[in-house]
Amino acid sequence: MAFTETTTVGYGSRVGNSFKAIGSGLLLFVIGTALLWWNEGRAVKTEKMLDEAGSAYVEMENPNKKDASLEGELICGTAMATTEDSLCDAQFGIGAKAIAIRRTVEYYQWVEHAQEKREDKLGGKEEITTTYTYTKEWVRRPVESAQFKDPAYQKKNMVLTTVDDQEQWAENVSWGAYQLTESLIHSISSSEGMELALSEDLLKQFDKSTQTAYERFYGVQKKNQQPTQQPAQQQAIPDSIRALLSDSAKAVLDSLQAVNDSINRQMENAENKKDLEYVHQASNVLYFGRVPGSPEVGDVRVCFEKIVPAKVTVMAVVDGDSFKPFKAKNGKRFQTLVMGKKSGDEIIEAEKEANTMILWFLRIVGVLMVIGGLKGIFGFLSMILKVVPFVANIVGWGIGVVCTVIGIAWSLIVIAIAWLFYRPLLGISLLVLAGFLIWVFAFKGKDKLKEMASGMKKDKQLNPVLEK
């Protein structure tokens, strides 16, 4: 069931907020401009560094043997990353000989979703209708439901237990005859599930505390317990009767008695073993809750993973028995570790593609920030006219178009000037394009307005004639 909340913002408050937005719009415009400038320089320097690294590296044929001739050289080689370090998760008493161990935690919670609808009213007021909906989801952090808007969902969340995420990395990881640095070690991603071997006492402790938390929130759950039928005890045959039996019959009776005793012991062990109702183990997941397949609000699942030895390719400068980053002439540094076997050319090409993706992503972000900043600066013009929403919407649309054109043109100019320092030909081309956009907008737009004005003037001159 959705919960709806309606608020009204007065005309005076809206105009005041629009003037306040001028400062934040200006700040956003400056940050967007700086981002565009920095991004172009970063991309060019990175590309030049990768070109330099691509022509300087040498293939390390046998990383399992140290080669003094490679000291200080940028190498590319493939070998197994291994470790003898043993890591332990002290809270759960489990560990492994691994490059890293990691635990991640999720909580089953009610989550609030809000959707706004804004409507301008005559007189400059704005009516904001917010619709809140609620869904149960697995999330990485407990959700504070006391702040929910719908009273029916307030204080609906709880957690059976709280567990922190944790990550431990081995300090000593070998790569052939060399040792990997911390940054290279953290690039290894050969993860797999950890085997859980929690002690029975710890599991019982978890089960008891989880049950207490569950019953405190949900109340005591009634259990349909069936009376346990005790296994029929086979009566021992009296010695007087055994004396009358043959040896073969005695052997058969002794065999049957042994089987019966074994069954009785198994039943007794089953009775003495207490089933855990609130903590469950499955693969590499420890689940706190009653039914893992049907989660309830408050359930918690903890996933355990480890980073295992794997074949990796390293591209870095040899520094004794370890490595250091490659430093290009422009000061940019580079070292990398990738999973599997890769050639140096493949790594350089992949890095260039990543550099291009980052370049265009930050370009888009920068342009949007510039446009958003301009809209924030000039937004008060349309806000003043909000007393007549129809007129304000037309003016607002026009301001949006103008800010978008100017924002794109300004961004192209910033990008072009930045590139003039590195690649003059492309920079000049971008400046020409930006100038063309400004010319089209400033002069062609003016000519279009003149044509429209001239057409309106002719219509007025023709109207008296038609009326006669």
Q: How confident is the model at residue 118 (pLDDT cuts 50, 70, 90)?
A: confident
Residue 47 one-letter amino acid: E
pLDDT at 466 over 50: no
Average confidence (pLDDT) over 258-276: 50
Mean pLDDT across 101-125: 91
Task: State the sign of the Cα–Cα–Cα–Cα dihedral 418, 420, 421, 422.
Answer: positive
Please check the confidence at residue 431 and state whether its pLDDT lies above 80: no
Quick one: average pLDDT of 450-460? 53
pLDDT over threshold 70, residue 465: no
pLDDT band for position 124 (cuts 50, 70, 90): confident
pLDDT over 70 for what percent of the chain?
79
Average pLDDT rounded to a whole number, residues 249-263: 57
Q: pLDDT of 158-214, one tens digit each?
A: 999 999 999 999 999 999 999 999 999 999 999 999 988 888 999 999 999 999 999
Q: Is a pLDDT exceeding 60 seen at residue 243?
A: no
pLDDT category of residue 138 using cuts at 50, 70 and 90: very high
The per-residue pLDDT for range 13-57, each reduced to its tens digit, is 878 888 888 899 999 999 999 999 999 989 999 999 999 999 999
Type of residue numbered 134: Y
User: Mean pLDDT over all residues of the chain?
Assistant: 84
